[in-house]
């Protein structure tokens, strides 16, 4: 079973951007899947999982996945488990705010972390705190992406002139509607993103900008 069996279209479930992973796998998804599925015992924390497109792909490939999102995706995950004959130790969903991650989940040991299109919904300081915590509770890699200042979301973005520490600004009404983003965001330049990851302790193996101006990175311990 794949996420596309459920025929999602490009939509926003929570007013925090389009859920792309439930429709298609991008290069970061494919690279992470290739890496995780080669391990015997990968246990991956998927933050901002949305409707679980990548979580399902990982679980079907034999990875144990704990997926977290502020939206209510409990029934969708239940449906995935039933259709793919997976138990909840292979594919679990927890609803909650990743800014409170240490209080939200009891597990403290993961092999890897996966977090696509979500970090910019946190302030820079919250992002730094979370990334430090993720470093502590994992042993191997982090696959992560963030919306870039050079993306279309960055057009007319009022946070552009603010320092990264105070850059947390809502999009104007037109862009909010276009991109289905109704929460403040902190957009990053590539240099800011790399510096944030390194400050949190991660070793950045590779960072690149997508055709849409977003930043993707693969990091290790
Ligand atoms: C653009 S969607 C990305 C979904 C999927 N990871 C993907 O790549 O397509 C962003 C997701 O992050 C979640 N999110 C944003 N801020 C969050 C927070 N503070 N706590 C938990 N989830 C959050 C939203 O609910 C949403 O499902």
- 168-207 pLDDT tens trace: 999 999 999 999 999 999 999 999 999 999 999 999 999 9
CA of 143 to the centre of ligand 1 (A): 15
> What are the b/e assignments for 39-73, b being 16+ CB within 10 Å?
eeebbbbbbbbbbbbbbbbbbbeebbbbbbbbbeb
Cβ of residue 181 lying under 6 Å from some atom of ligand 1: no
Pocket mutation for ligand 1, best pick of 118, 168, 170, 181 (most atoms within 8 Å of C-beta): 118
Whole-number pLDDT of residue 5 = 55
Angstrom distance (rounded) from CA 101 to CA 56: 21
| Cβ of 98 less than 6 Å from ligand 1 | yes
Residue 29 domain-assigned (yes or no): yes
20 vs 1, higher pLDDT? 20
Judge whether 176 lies within some domain.
no
* pLDDT at residue 3 greater than cutoff 60: no
Would you tell me how many other CB atoms lie within 10 Å of the CB of residue 212? 12
- Please state, rounded to an integer, the average pLDDT across all residues of the chain: 95
Mean pLDDT of all residues in 36-61? 96
For ligand 1, the distance from its centroid to the CA atom of residue 110, given in whole angstroms, is 20
Answer yes or no: is the C-beta of 52 below 6 A from any ligand 1 atom. no
Question: Quick check: is 16 in a domain?
Answer: yes
Residues contacting 171, CB < 8 A, separation 6+ = 153, 156, 157, 179, 181, 185
Q: What is the pLDDT of residue 214?
A: 96
pLDDT of residue 171: 96
- C-alpha neighbours within 13 Å on the C-beta side of residue 171: 25
Burial class (CB in 10 A: 0-12, 13-18, 19+), 89: exposed
Single pTM value for the model = 0.96
- 8 A C-beta contact, residue 187 and residue 159: yes
Residue 220, in any domain of the structure: no
Q: Is residue 49 part of a domain?
A: yes
CATH of residue 21: 3.40.50.150
Using pLDDT thresholds of 50, 70 and 90, give the confidence band for residue 7: low
Q: Residue 17 CB: number of other CB atoms within 10 A? A: 22
Assess whether the C-beta atom of 159 lies below 6 angstroms from ligand 1.
no
Within-domain flag for 153: no
Assess whether the C-beta atom of 20 lies below 6 angstroms from ligand 1. Answer: yes
Q: Does the Cβ of 194 fall within 6 Å of ligand 1?
A: no
Confirm whether 59 is domain-assigned.
yes
Instruction: Provide the number of structural domains found in the chain.
Output: 1
The percent of residues above 90 in pLDDT, for the chain, comes to 92
Q: Note the pLDDT tens digit of each residue in 88-112.
A: 999 999 999 999 999 999 999 999 9
The stretch 133-148 carries a mean pLDDT of 98
Nearest to 54 by CA among 41, 73, 39: 73
165 belongs to a structural domain: no
Distance 48 CA to ligand 1 centre (A): 3
Residue 127 has pLDDT above 70, yes or no: yes
- Could you tell me the residue range of the domain that residue 68 belongs to? 3-147
The residue whose CB lies within 8 Å of the most ligand 1 atoms, and thus the one to mutate among 11, 121, 180, is 121
For the cut 60, the answer to whether the pLDDT of residue 1 exceeds it is no
């Amino acid at each position: 079973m794949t996420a596309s069996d459920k025929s999602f279209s490009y939509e926003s479930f929570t007013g925090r951007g389009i859920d792309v992973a439930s429709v298609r796998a991008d290069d970061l998804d494919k690279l992470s899947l290739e890496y995780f599925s080669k391990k015997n015992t990968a246990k991956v924390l998927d933050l901002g999982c949305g409707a679980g497109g990548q979580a399902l792909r990982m679980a079907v490939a034999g990875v144990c996945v704990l997926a977290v999102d502020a939206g209510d995706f409990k029934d969708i995950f239940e449906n995935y488990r039933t259709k793919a004959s997976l138990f909840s130790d292979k594919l679990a969903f927890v609803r909650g705010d990743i800014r409170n991650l240490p209080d939200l989940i009891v597990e403290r040991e993961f092999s890897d972390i996966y977090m696509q299109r979500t970090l910019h919904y946190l302030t820079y300081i919250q992002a730094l705190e979370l990334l430090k915590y993720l470093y502590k509770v994992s042993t191997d890699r982090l696959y992560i992406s963030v919306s870039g200042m050079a993306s279309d979301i960055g057009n007319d973005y009022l946070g552009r002139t603010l320092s990264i520490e105070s850059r947390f600004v809502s999009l104007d009404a037109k862009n909010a509607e276009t991109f289905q983003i109704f929460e403040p965001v902190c957009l990053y330049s590539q240099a800011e993103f790399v510096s944030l990851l390194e400050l949190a302790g991660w070793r950045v193996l590779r960072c690149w900008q997508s055709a849409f101006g977003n930043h993707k990175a693969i990091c290790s311990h």
